[in-house]
Chain A
Amino acid sequence: MTTNATSAPPTYMTAKGFTLTAGFWMTVATFMGLLGATELIAPDLTENIGWVVFGRVRPIHVNLVLFGFVTPGLLAAAFYYLPRILRTELFSEMLGVVTVVLWNLVLIGVVVTLAAGYTQGREYAEMIWPVDMGVVLIFSLVLINFLMTVVRRKEPMLYVSVWYACAGIVLTATTFSLGNVIWRPDTGALVGIPDAILLWFYGHNVFGLLLTPLAAGVAYYVIPRACKTPLYSHTLSLLGFWSLIVVYTHIGTHHLLQVPVPTWLKVISIVDSVAMVIPVMAFLINIWYTAKGRLGEIHNDIGAKFVFTGTIMYFFVSIQGSIMALPQVQRITHFNNWVVAHAHVGVLGFAGMISLGGLYYILPRITNKPLFSRFLADFQYWMILIGVVGFTVVLTIAGLIQGNAWYNGETIYRVLPEIHMYYITRASIGLLVFSSAVLGLYNIIRTLYFNPGEKLS
């Protein structure tokens, strides 16, 4: 295994690779979302074309958003900031590049197998065993690179972003293996209720212990740097980190409040969901106080602007989440588009925004050239912001209509026409987000490879 020579300037090959990966798969993932949304308006659109029926398009969309767009974007930033904070070099740029290549092969595997109908049929764990093993492998490679970089550090103190990045990868490797029941290759599942419980421990943790820590790590790096000021409180950040790790691991059962699972598990999940206010507010107070009086600096840096907006979305999604975990509320909001709205605020508004922010923050620094177009990035920012807010409003309304109809025993065929116009609006917003992804990819490629801008000193 090769490591960088001590004196050579970093090439940032891994960060560049993950940046490109995120940009490319964001376009595919959002296209799949758009296609799925269109099929909800016109179900006959892809009739008889087996590999793009809704049941296959949806898992491709969510898995690509998760593992193709948001995670690689956050990893690109982590591969940039970890060596800098630790005052050392990345353990192995070569290993990083191999990881990027394998990562993309796994993503191709995800698309091909799911489109061909090979699925284990469990939400967020649809991938079949060989693909699962690929995911475990790539996370293990990232973990080796991160941990070895930490071991070789010259800075003895671990800044909170380092904690978040490493924890996100360790916990995901564990959670993914357990949640996908990888010791049962044929089904990838247990039987009955225990399977649902295990699946949702994984299902929620993939957001809470992968996207959330990686995004928090990026925010804790980008905001102080963009504001050119120290973090408000490192102690508070560590309090937030450790409480997140302890609390989040237990809340998966809040997805199963209407299922006959043991009551004590439901109680733990509800109490911990409300207790999430502690890590969430510890994080937000810290970031917002760091940025206090320096919003101008954040405006100047498009990366920081994305990241900061992501933290505001984190506030909304988390407060909403704590309330949604209450059984009385969930009686209306469960099993309908309300949850889809929440999912989009979380994954696109919070983690996706911070992922893009991380990319745009590091791009000029890893290429040593200015961003190809700040205007395009700003345009993308507004399209995504409008997109997230639009999704939230439309899907929440549709969800409330569906939830109330169900609660009152209304039959489904009377409800579908009522929500039709919301579905149309949702698809149009999907078009906005997809277009912004294409512009974003163009901006990324031009910045990385065909950048006429003059070199930074």
Chain B
Amino acid sequence: MYYPYFLTYMALGLGITLIVFSWALRKGQFNDQQRARYLPLHPAPDPPPPKPSRFIRLEVLVLFVMAGLGLAASAAVILFALVHGN
């Protein structure tokens, strides 16, 4: 009873791999490897993004301070638990 399942599993994996590999070989997928290196660069890289507005910077700062305060409070509780826990 051990064998059928995992042999099916391995055979299936290997089977699919071999079929796809032979397809790729026949279709010349392994031929022009130099050109393939450049494929992600098409189309040309994007321009650098513009600067964010002042308002965003302020909003982010407030959010950051709030998150920082929350984390600091939690850290204090944890520190207290570690020191006085047992």
Contact = CB atoms under 8 A, between A and B. Distances in A.
Interface of A: 41, 81, 84-85, 87, 155-161, 170-171, 174, 178, 190, 193-194, 197-198, 201, 220-221, 224-225, 228-235, 238, 242, 245-246, 249-250, 262, 265, 364-365, 370-376, 379, 417, 420-421, 424-425, 427-428, 431-432, 435, 439, 442, 452-454, 456-457
A250 B11 CA distance: 10
Contact of B32 (A157, A160, A262): A157
Give the dominant DSSP class at A's interface. helix
Contacts of A427: 78
B60 A376 contact: yes
Nearest to B59: A373
B40 A245 contact: no
Contact of B81 (A201, A231, A424): A424
A341 to B, nearest CB: 19
A230 B41 contact: yes
A370 B6 contact: no
A81 B36 CA distance: 15
B56 A372 contact: yes
B71 A225 contact: no
Interface in B1-56: 1-2, 5-6, 8-10, 12-14, 16-17, 21, 24, 27, 29-30, 32-43, 45-47, 49-50, 52-53, 55-56
Contacts of B82: 421, 424-425
A224 B41 contact: yes
B14 to A, nearest CB: 7
Interface residues of B, number: 53
A425 B63 contact: no
A442 B78 CA distance: 26
A233 B38 CA distance: 10
A265 B9 CA distance: 13
B49 A370 contact: yes
A452 B56 contact: yes
Interface of B: 1-2, 5-6, 8-10, 12-14, 16-17, 21, 24, 27, 29-30, 32-43, 45-47, 49-50, 52-53, 55-57, 59-60, 63-64, 67, 70-71, 74-75, 78, 81-82, 85-86
Nearest to A42: B81
A206 to B, nearest CB: 13
A453 B14 contact: no
Contacts, number: 147
A220 B56 contact: no
A373 B63 CA distance: 11
A84 B60 CA distance: 33
B63 A442 contact: yes
Given A157-B29, A198-B6, A84 B37 contact: no
16 contacts: A155-B39, A159-B36, A174-B16, A197-B2, A201-B9, A231-B36, A238-B30, A249-B13, A373-B60, A375-B57, A431-B74, A435-B67, A439-B67, A452-B53, A456-B46, A457-B47
A372 B52 CA distance: 8
Contacts of B32: 157
A265 B2 CA distance: 11
Given A246-B17, A375-B64, A435-B70, A231 B37 contact: yes
B56 to A, nearest CB: 6
Nearest to A265: B6
Nearest to B43: A84
Nearest to A233: B37
Given A225-B45, A374-B52, 13 more contacts: A85-B42, A156-B27, A157-B35, A159-B36, A170-B16, A231-B37, A246-B14, A249-B9, A364-B49, A372-B56, A375-B57, A453-B52, A456-B47
B21 to A, nearest CB: 7
Contact of A201 (B6, B35, B36, B75): B6
